[in-house]
């Protein structure tokens, strides 16, 4: 007897495989929810900024992040605290995250907003994100130096760390002066 594969079985198998690759793609929280988590009692105002090419180049040089920084998701309060939403590439897909910066220039918190990769989602765990709290733009913010890597999430860990470094450089150059 000669076996002939069914096209329905092939399509079913393909959908199971593609569904498995999206199993961990997840929206965790919104920017507004991140604000409430990082700064529970503060009221923020949206303050979008145009990021000129010289500032883009400076952030790229400091952080190594090639994806352009978009200045449309910057919030501040009257006390000088900031919440900045940014995106970096994980391994293949974009990771959206928020960095809360206190009026003293220290990281108040990092929240993962949206994680689209099928693995490496451990970067959303509080224990890993907590490593950033208290850091400033003067800290090295280097993976395996002052931020520990996560096995199986190395690229996501590195790229988020580099992205936070970029956000802190942006704060130092463009926002700290305004404070």
Cβ neighbours for 8, distance < 8 A, ≥ 6 positions apart: none
d(CA 29, CA 35): 10
Using DSSP's 3-state secondary structure scheme, residue 99 falls into strand
d(CA 48, CA 149): 32
Per residue in 83-108, pLDDT (tens digit) is: 999 999 988 899 999 999 999 999 99
Q: Report whether 86 contacts 152 (CB < 8 A).
A: no
Per residue in 42-63, pLDDT (tens digit) is: 999 999 999 999 999 999 999 9
Q: Report whether 100 contacts 34 (CB < 8 A).
A: yes
Q: Crossing angle for the helix pair 53-63 and 154-170, nearest 10 degrees? A: 140
Per residue in 107-121, pLDDT (tens digit) is: 999 999 999 988 888
Q: Report whether 114 contacts 104 (CB < 8 A).
A: no
The tally of CA atoms less than 13 A away on the side-chain side of residue 28 is 22
Using DSSP's 3-state secondary structure scheme, residue 46 falls into strand
Given pLDDT bands bounded at 50, 70 and 90, which one contains residue 24? low
């Amino acid at each position: 007897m000669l076996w002939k594969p069914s096209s329905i079985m092939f399509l079913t198998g393909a959908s199971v495989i593609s569904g498995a690759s999206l199993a961990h793609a997840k929206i965790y929280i919104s920017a507004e929810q991140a604000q409430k988590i990082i700064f529970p009692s503060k009221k923020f105002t949206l303050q979008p900024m145009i990021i000129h090419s010289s500032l883009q180049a400076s952030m790229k040089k400091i952080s190594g992040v090639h994806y352009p920084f978009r200045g449309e998701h910057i919030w501040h309060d009257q006390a000088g605290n900031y919440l900045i939403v940014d995106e970096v590439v994980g391994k293949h897909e974009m990771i959206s995250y928020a960095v809360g910066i206190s009026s003293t220039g220290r990281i108040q918190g990092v929240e993962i907003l949206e994680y689209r990769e099928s693995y490496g989602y451990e970067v959303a765990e509080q224990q890993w994100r907590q490593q950033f709290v208290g850091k400033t733009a003067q800290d090295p913010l280097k993976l395996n130096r002052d931020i520990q890597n996560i096995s199986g999430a190395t690229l996501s860990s590195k790229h988020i760390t580099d992205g936070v470094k970029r956000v802190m450089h942006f704060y130092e150059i463009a926002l700290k002066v305004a404070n």
